[in-house]
């Protein structure tokens, strides 16, 4: 099995690497970690070389029938720069049922066309080409042909630009200054894209949304450096706003994203996850960027303080709903459309998402996920678990939780003045909840 590790941010996840080596060679995890620490201390400056040697020993692909059991020290707890009003979500299947029946996501007809940029983003749709142009400038004039080719390949596949559009819509609440808001919106998308590049390296993914990943084309080492280069350019763009609070928010968000990803990486194949810890994780890895995109857009254009706070709350709750829907689609979506190898690919890779957590809470005894994560007939047990999740009420309950956060996102918009920006932000909630990819 693969213990997912973050091979960027100065290769900080030594614990994850050690667990991966222990899994492959059936060594005790504490012994491997102790040896790593001792070697690093003893060799001082050569410790990084020892770490790289361990990193190279990680298996290249997951083995679904592996019979090893990984024990870890627990999750990396997130700090709380982004506050969420408790309770975030019901913590058991029974409580979820008590909260109301789920509103199913609409099944899109095969012939239905995706919504246009104009219909999605209303008053800011005309300015999104300026954001694309700003992002495209990152790939021009770098003075290094190979880097330029990598950037052009990766930046050509930017999607619907939802996060930048939310920043622009936030800017409409104040002094809508394109000289400040366009670099801000571009920095948001560039930061998001950089995290995807690093994710693909960690996951050893060959495709994302039907497109070849940077690591499949250029290799892992070059892709890590590509992501780092994008992070640096994103920071440069955010500095052009000349707003110290915006810069601070950007830095805090980057730390939250990394901590959220580390949280997920070091808890792989650990079945003690609960709803609250799941929510903490997705706030870090996904919702924090939505929150900052929304808040900074209003902040950089000098919107009133109460509206800045409302935008942050809106972005946070929308981002949580977005990730929960993503986790539903991992079970119900078309793997080819989603760019994933199989139905339930997150669970097969050792990551518990909300449908699986609710299933484990409802069936605590003799659960196939526990057996699989303990190394017992992993492939067969995970197949059974996925079938049980799809046949049971867990997808519906998870969708209802997503709709709950969608309602909270809409409620946050009540602090904004009536008008097209607010209406467009409300429409985006519907789009997030109803999307099929």
Per residue in 39-58, pLDDT (tens digit) is: 444 444 434 333 333 333 33
Residue 68 sits in the same domain as residue 109: no
Residues 259 and 181 in one domain: yes
Q: Report the pLDDT value the prediction gives residue 85, as an integer from 0 to 100.
A: 35
For residues 315 and 159, give the distance between their C-alpha atoms in angstroms, rounded to a whole number.
18
Q: Name every residue whose Cβ is closer than 8 Å to that of residue 99 and which is 6 or more positions away in sequence.
A: 90, 400, 404
Domain co-membership, 139 together with 69: no
For residue 341, name the pLDDT band (cuts at 50, 70, 90).
Answer: low
CATH of the domain at 294: 1.10.600.10
In the prediction, which pLDDT does 339 show?
Answer: 61
pLDDT in tens, 258-281: 998 888 888 899 988 899 999 999
On whether residue 86 sits in a domain, the answer given is no
Q: Which of 160, 102, 168, 108 lies closest to 324, judged by CA?
A: 102
In this structure, is residue 270 part of a structural domain?
A: yes
Tell me what pLDDT residue 390 has: 97
Percent of the chain whose predicted confidence (pLDDT) is above 90: 54
The answer as to whether 80 is a domain residue is: no
Q: What is the pLDDT of residues 203-251, one digit of tens each?
A: 777 767 667 777 777 888 888 999 899 999 999 999 999 999 999 999 9
Is 82 part of a structural domain of the chain? no
Tokens found for residue 185: 């919106």
The answer to whether position 81 is within a domain reads no
> 51 and 98 share a domain?
no
In a domain, 302, yes or no: yes
Please indicate, yes or no, if residue 137 is contained in any of the structural domains.
Answer: yes
Q: Can you give the pLDDT at residue 404?
A: 98
pTM of the full structure:
0.75
Query: How many separate domains does the chain show?
Result: 2
Please provide the DSSP assignment of 180-210 as one string.
Answer: HHHHHHHHHHHHHHHHHHHHHHHHT-SEETT
Higher confidence at residue 25 or residue 340?
340
Domain check: are 34 and 126 in the same one? no
58 and 116 fall within a common domain: no
4 and 52 co-located in one domain? yes
In a domain, 83, yes or no: no
Is residue 207 domain-shared with residue 328, that is, in the same domain? Answer: yes
414 and 335 share one domain: yes
Torsion of CA 343, 346, 348, 354, to 10 degrees: -90
pLDDT of residue 47: 40
Q: Domain containing 42: what range?
A: 1-73
């Amino acid at each position: 099995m693969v213990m997912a590790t973050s091979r960027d941010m100065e290769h900080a996840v030594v614990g994850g690497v050690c667990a991966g080596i222990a899994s492959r060679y059936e060594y005790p995890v504490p012994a491997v970690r102790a040896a790593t620490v001792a070697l690093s201390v003893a060799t001082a400056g050569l410790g990084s070389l020892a770490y790289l040697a361990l990193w190279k020993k990680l298996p290249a692909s997951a083995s679904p029938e592996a019979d090893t059991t990984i024990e870890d020290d627990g999750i990396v707890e997130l700090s709380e720069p982004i506050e969420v009003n408790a309770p975030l979500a019901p913590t058991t299947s029974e409580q979820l049922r008590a909260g109301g029946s789920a509103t199913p996501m609409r099944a899109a007809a095969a012939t239905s066309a995706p919504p246009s940029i104009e219909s999605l983003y209303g008053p800011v749709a005309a300015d999104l080409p300026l954001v694309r142009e700003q992002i495209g400038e990152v790939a021009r004039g770098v003075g290094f042909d190979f880097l330029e080719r990598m950037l052009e390949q990766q930046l050509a596949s930017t999607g619907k630009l939802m996060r930048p559009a939310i920043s622009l819509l936030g800017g409409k609440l104040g002094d809508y200054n394109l000289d400040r808001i366009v670099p801000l919106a571009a920095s948001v998308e560039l930061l998001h894209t950089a995290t995807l590049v690093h994710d693909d390296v960690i996951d050893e993914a060959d495709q994302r949304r039907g497109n070849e990943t940077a690591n499949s084309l250029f290799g892992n080492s070059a892709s890590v450096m590509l992501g780092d280069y994008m992070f640096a350019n994103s920071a440069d763009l955010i500095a052009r706003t000349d707003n110290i609070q915006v810069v601070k928010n950007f830095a805090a968000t980057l730390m939250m994203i990394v901590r959220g990803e580390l949280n997920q990486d070091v808890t792989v194949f650990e079945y003690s996850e609960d709803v609250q810890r799941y929510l903490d994780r997705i706030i870090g890895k996904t919702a924090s960027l939505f929150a900052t995109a929304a808040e900074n857009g209003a902040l950089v254009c000098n919107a009133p303080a109460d509206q800045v706070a409302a935008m942050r709350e809106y972005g946070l709750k929308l981002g949580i709903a977005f990730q929960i829907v993503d986790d539903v689609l991992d079970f119900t979506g078309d793997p080819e459309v989603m760019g994933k190898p199989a139905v339930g690919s997150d669970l097969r890779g050792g990551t518990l998402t909300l449908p699986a957590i609710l299933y484990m809470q409802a069936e605590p005894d003799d659960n196939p996920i526990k057996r699989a994560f303990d190394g017992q007939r992993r492939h067969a047990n995970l197949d059974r678990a996925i079938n049980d999740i799809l046949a049971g009420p867990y997808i519906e309950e998870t969708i209802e939780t997503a709709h709950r956060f969608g309602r909270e996102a809409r409620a946050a918009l009540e602090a904004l003045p009536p008008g097209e920006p607010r209406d467009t932000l409300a429409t985006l909630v519907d789009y997030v909840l109803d999307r099929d990819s």
